[in-house]
Amino acid sequence: MTQSMNSRSIMHYYGYLNGYSHDGKLRQHRAMTEVLPFLRRKPLFRITTQEAKKKLFNIAKKYASENMFSHLINQQSFSGQSRLKTIVNLVEIIKIPLWEVEQFVSDFEKNVLCESMPPLYRTDLVDLLKSSRSVADKKNSLITMPFLLNQVSHTLLYSPFIAKKSDWFIRRTFLHALCNKLSAWLIKYFMNGVYLKLSVQEISTLIEGTTAYQNEIRK
């Protein structure tokens, strides 16, 4: 469950998830490893780095007049850090006609965020971009939106995109099995968020049963 939820930036806040603690109060909780943005994690998106670069180039071609931006995209490794830098550079040079604001937001979702925004947030963003606020404020709203920053926090030094299809799946190894047991033990005894009253073995079995392994990919 945590793998799925933390892989969607609209469902968590820098790795935090809402949960009820043992005293019955609703609090934000996150695993210790979520504090470390330099760890290699499961890719966030099921598209390749090249596909992600092509998406960014498409929006640059449509809303920016500088052809040199395509070279900048190709030069980037597209780690979380370099991807954010590229997006910031893109936002600086784009021009959004007032009559194309809604289409731009749709393009931004599809080609930059690579996921959908919550409907209310999307509506507020459209209203902001159509308002009389300064250009700087409007562009700042694009590069500081929580969903984009959540994506960057997921993987700072590595690419959030896959290199090949199998990257989306996890290799079944002894180390993974050991970490599975350790994770179940930590969830049972050290996580304040209470989701299910299960034993360590039951939690471990639940994690195991919801993990997609590479050797189980259907051809």
For residue 219, the model assigns a pLDDT of 47
> Phi, psi at residue 156, to the nearest 5°?
-85, -40
Q: What are the sequence ranges of the domains in the chain? A: 2-35+169-216, 49-154
pLDDT at 104 over 90: yes
pLDDT at 143 over 90: yes
Average pLDDT, the chain: 79
pLDDT (tens digit per residue) in 128-139 = 999 999 999 999
Calculated CA dihedral for residues 202, 205, 209, 212, nearest 10 degrees: 130
pLDDT (tens digit per residue) in 39-95 = 777 788 888 999 999 999 999 889 986 676 777 787 888 888 899 999 999 999 899
Output the pTM of the full model: 0.72
For residue 179, the model assigns a pLDDT of 82
For residue 2, the model assigns a pLDDT of 43
For residue 191, the model assigns a pLDDT of 67
The 3-state secondary structure of the chain, one letter per residue:
CHHHHHCCCCCCECCEEEEECCCCCEEEECCHHHHCCCCCCCCCCCCEHHHHHHHHHHHHHHHCCCCCHHHHHHHCCCCHHHHHHHHHHHHHHCCCCHHHHHHHHHHHHHHHHCCCCCHHHHHHHHHHHHCCCCHHHHHHHHHCCHHHHHHHHHCCCCCCCECCHHHHCECCCHHHHHHHHHHHHHHHHCCCCCCCCCCHHHHHHHHHHCCCEHHHCCC
Task: Please state, for a pLDDT cut of 70, what percent of the chain lies above it.
Answer: 74
Q: Angle at which helices 119-130 and 135-143 pack, to 10 degrees?
A: 160
